[in-house]
Structure 1
């Protein structure tokens, strides 16, 4: 178990290094372009060259990446080319907003997907058809359309929730809950639709297995079979679907934050990418990679707890 866990850690670190280096080459590969973006299009060649030296962009790319990687280890991600503010301090205020949306959506997705998937697979009939229809509909409608519809219905017409803005839980727990409700719901529709369909399929496959027929023949109650045996065997593919859903949630959160004007990574990445603020963009990319790797690692650990065969992989 420990050896398998260490292998997963090594793989995660390798993925982090490869992905961050590839992104670094793409972002920092054009030193003159970055310097001119900071100075403006009318800057002279001499000024551009001087700015490159000032920003350290004239050094070999591997040297720049090595220095950036050392900064990551020590918590120093550099400073913004435009504001001069520390990238780490900027991310400190932005990451909690996006992370709140992702974590809440993932937790609710796991609960609702299991409930809907198991209900559709066990009951069948019209219940199954309704769940399938809702999952197809939820998958087909883009998240930003759902977000706009929710804002019009519950923020403009009824005014139960704020249409824009974010309230920190330290300021007002109630205000915080209201400010994240609509964004989470907008992300939840597509997330549950995709995951519930996956859970339904895996539960139906598990119910058709021979060991389930044997348990029923022994007189074990249906509820015990479902909760103690079927869900345990169907949990692995379901967790894999949730892991993949994390990537989609991060991308979706960027658009949803724009709709509800939330000060998260979406707004930061959009602004910094338009400006060409490379250190900030690299900071956002690093955070996204870490979130995906952590969620996948936790998913693998949960899968190993459910399925002993997965512990040695």
Structure 2
């Protein structure tokens, strides 16, 4: 198990380097410049060129990347060329918003997805078919459409919930919950259906195995078989799917933050891209890559505890 963790960490370093390089190159190919973004479209070419020179944005792209990488290795992600604030501080201030959305949606997905999938597998019949139909509907409905409908119905017409903004937990726990309900539900709807289908399929596969049939033939209580054996054997693939869902949810927060006007990392990414703020874009690329590495590392560790053979490796 330790070797798996070490391999993950060894791969993470070059992976983050490659992704940061690709992001930097692609960002530099976008039209416009940071000087133009700051001064506006009416600024003269001379003033734009002067500002780009002052900010170092007129240097060759590879030189800029090497300079960024040299500082990033020491943990210094630089300063935002637009705001002048350290990139690390800017990202840290936005993390609670994005993680509140992603983790809240993940909990919703786990609770409803795993529960409904398990019920569909155990009961079968019309319950199982209903889970499949809901899964198709959940995956087929666009998230942006669901978000707009939710805003219109629950925010505008019924006025039950706020339709924009984010309330920090420290300021008001109840306000924090209310500001998250709509985006969290919309973000998790399609993933709930996916996890339900995977849970149902894996539990059905386990229930049809020979060892389960032998346990039932020997008179073992059905509930004990389900919770001790079937659920344990289905947990590995479901856990892997949940980790993939969490990565997808992190990406999905970008759209939700835009629709619901929440100041998270997604909003920061859009703003930095619009303003050609390469330092912030690079910092976000490193953060998102690190998040994916951590999620998969934790998944490997959890899978090891569920699977004795994985621990032995």
Structure 1 position 183, deviation (Å): 0.8
Q: How many angstroms apart in 2 are the aligned matches of 1:70 and 1:311?
A: 37
Structure 1 position 255, deviation (Å): 1.0
Q: How many angstroms apart in 2 are the aligned matches of 1:188 and 1:71?
A: 38
Residues 109, 47 of structure 1: alpha-carbon distance in 2 compared, 3 angstrom cutoff: same
Structure 2 gap segments, 5+ residues each: none
* 2:28 is the counterpart of 1:22: no
Structure 1 position 52, deviation (Å): 4.8
Structure 1 position 278, deviation (Å): 1.6
Q: Is the 8 A contact 1:108 1:188 kept in 2?
A: yes
Structure 1 position 137, deviation (Å): 0.9
Structure 1 position 283, deviation (Å): 2.0
Equivalent in the alignment of 1:171: 171
Q: How many angstroms apart in 1 are the aligned matches of 2:164 and 2:37?
A: 31
Q: Is the 8 A contact 1:28 1:61 kept in 2?
A: yes
Structure 1 position 262, deviation (Å): 0.8
Alignment of 1:1-313 (within 5 A): 1-28=1-28, 33-38=33-38, 50-57=50-57, 61=61, 63-311=63-311
Q: Is the 8 A contact 2:33 2:276 kept in 1?
A: no
Q: How many angstroms apart in 2 are the aligned matches of 1:271 and 1:23?
A: 16
Q: How many angstroms apart in 2 are the aligned matches of 1:16 and 1:29?
A: 20
Structure 1 position 71, deviation (Å): 3.4
Q: Is the 8 A contact 1:4 1:311 kept in 2?
A: no
Q: How many angstroms apart in 2 are the aligned matches of 1:151 and 1:38?
A: 33
Residues 238, 93 of structure 1: alpha-carbon distance in 2 compared, 3 angstrom cutoff: same
Q: Is the 8 A contact 1:31 1:57 kept in 2?
A: no
How high is the TM-score relative to the length of structure 2? 0.90
Q: How many angstroms apart in 1 are the aligned matches of 2:176 and 2:43?
A: 45
Q: How many angstroms apart in 2 are the aligned matches of 1:71 and 1:168?
A: 32
Residues 21, 228 of structure 1: alpha-carbon distance in 2 compared, 3 angstrom cutoff: same
Q: Is the 8 A contact 1:81 1:277 kept in 2?
A: yes
Structure 1 position 66, deviation (Å): 4.0
Q: Is the 8 A contact 1:102 1:246 kept in 2?
A: yes
Structure 1 position 182, deviation (Å): 1.1
**Does 148-157 or 255-264 show the bigger shift?**
148-157
Number of residue pairs aligned between Structure 1 and Structure 2: 313
Structure 1 position 311, deviation (Å): 3.6
Q: How many angstroms apart in 1 are the aligned matches of 2:236 and 2:106?
A: 16
Residues 72, 224 of structure 1: alpha-carbon distance in 2 compared, 3 angstrom cutoff: farther
Residues 302, 34 of structure 1: alpha-carbon distance in 2 compared, 3 angstrom cutoff: same
Residues 17, 218 of structure 1: alpha-carbon distance in 2 compared, 3 angstrom cutoff: farther
Structure 1 position 166, deviation (Å): 0.7
Residues 107, 73 of structure 1: alpha-carbon distance in 2 compared, 3 angstrom cutoff: farther
Q: Is the 8 A contact 1:38 1:81 kept in 2?
A: no
Highest RCO, 1 vs 2 (Cα 8 Å, sep ≥ 6): 2
**Does 209-218 or 145-154 show the bigger shift?**
145-154
Residues 15, 78 of structure 1: alpha-carbon distance in 2 compared, 3 angstrom cutoff: same
Q: How many angstroms apart in 1 are the aligned matches of 2:227 and 2:100?
A: 29
